[in-house]
Amino acid sequence: MLGIDPERPIVGFFTTRFVRAQSEEAAAKLAAEMIIADWSVGEWAALNMGSLPKVSVDKIWSVSFWRWFRTGNRGYVFYPEDN
């Protein structure tokens, strides 16, 4: 499943979400809500073997309407705990 090594459990992930918001604070909140929904009732809920993720925003930037409109807003890059 997903190339997961049971000796190195997943402890985090990176993802990008495109949202439409009036401020950076509102954008961060919307993106976090989208991610939490994925892991609580969305497509990743069945694979979630731990608690809901703790989401922190690394960067926020503006994109064109067409870039926002055409995105799939999906996907995660997982990483294991460092030794």
Whether the pLDDT of residue 1 is over 50: the answer is no
Residue 37 in tokens: 């929904």
pLDDT at 34: 92
pLDDT at 8: 77
What would the mean pLDDT of 2-21 be, rounded to a whole number? 81
- 37 phi, psi to nearest 5 deg: -65, -40
5 is a domain residue: no
pLDDT at 33: 93
56 is a domain residue: yes
67 is a domain residue: yes
Q: Which domain holds residue 48?
A: 10-80
Q: What is the 3-state secondary structure (H, E, C) of the chain?
A: CCCCCCCCCEEEEECCCCCCCCCHHHHHHHHHHHHHHHHHCCCCHHHCCCCCCCCCCCCCCCCCHHHHHHCCCCCCEEEECCC
22-27: long-range pairs with CB below 8 Å, 24+: 24/60, 27/60
pLDDT at 82: 76
pLDDT digits 0-9 by tens, 22-78: 999 999 999 999 999 888 887 788 777 778 888 999 999 898 888 888 888 888 888
pLDDT at 19: 92
Q: Domains in the chain: how many in total?
A: 1
